Amino acid sequence: MGGNNMLKFRTIGQLLNLYILPEIEKRIDEGTIEENELPFNVFQFRIILKKISEDKVSPIVEINEEVNVVVNVTAKRKTIPGEIVTLNDIDPDQSYIVPPVYDGKPAAYFLCQSSFFDYFLTFDCRPNFPDITEDFQEMKNAYPILDFINNIKLYKDIKPIEKIENLSKNNWPPAPGYYPHVLLELHKDSCVIDNPELLEIVSDAYGTSYWERRFAFWEETNFFPERLLYIKKAVDAHFSKDYIASIYVLVPQFEGIIVDYLSECNQRTGGTFKDKIETFKELIFSRKILMFPKQVFDTAFEYLNTGSFWENSYKIKNPSTTINRHGIAHGNFKGFECEEISLKYLILLDLLSYIILHDKMLREKI
């Protein structure tokens, strides 16, 4: 994630607070969304700004299945009306969104569509601009139709939520960086999860370029104030194969990161670390909506609450493959430091950062 992603997530946060959250509240009051459906999973939305007069617009909010994007494409060959057209018949680089029309006129809009842990965001406010030039009016909003269709197919084929749950059961933190590379390899051969080659596959997905993007995003958004130095040292030590340093620098940061965020949100921070995780979970699920899949949140908190992270260290048979905070924090383990366990703690950090990112969007704090 770089600067462009900061702008994207910041804009999404603003749109959620201006339009989507009020719309969800309205639908709750009307009874079209029940309290037991909360937090409501939003995977796409479109806000249409219907112009009423020169100085007034009326927002029309579409959520999930209500969104119907129409795209103009350029055919590579001559077609006849009613003929089925495939991706091979069109030029995907010449695909443009058709603006919604009201009263015979194009309407301004914001469109946001999810791609598992990322988003496509675009907007067109030109129909509401006064006195714009004809050339500007003729500009088109491109639509990544090939990426969109491929992502849908990939999601259906590899069933990412099931595979992330399976990774979690095998003591790999259920994090977004597995998508799509690691999950695709598991789709090709489910037995990989029991083989040593899984470490190499996951390590490739979480390589130096991945962490460079994460650091760029965290620095620009002041994501881990006063802790980024420690995290950078842990990542540098990991890639220098100094796993003793990477593990012992990183493990104490988890409680600190959660306490920092609870304090920022004016939540209680007392009790054991496990109590703090439960408070963190309650905070996340207290929101009216979720912008990442709820099943992944469920898997993540189950991993943190009931997985090996919390087991008594004497129950851990192999500390070089199984993460366990107690055994490291209290010095019960010796000679366990290796690439796999270091990588797993880094992935756990990445998981926490995505959960916090999600909540910061809803709080409009990116």
Is residue 2 over pLDDT 50?
A: no
Query: Could you tell me the residue ranges of all domains in the chain?
Result: 42-153, 159-363
Q: Is the pLDDT of residue 138 over 80?
A: no
**Measured distance CA(2)–CA(180) in Å, rounded:** 19
Q: What is the pLDDT of residues 210-239, one digit of tens each?
A: 999 999 999 999 999 899 999 999 999 999
pLDDT the model gives residue 130: 63
**pLDDT band of 3, cuts 50, 70, 90:** very low
Give the pLDDT score at 120: 92
- Dihedrals phi, psi of 247, to nearest 5 degrees: -70, -50
More reliable by pLDDT, 334 or 149: 149
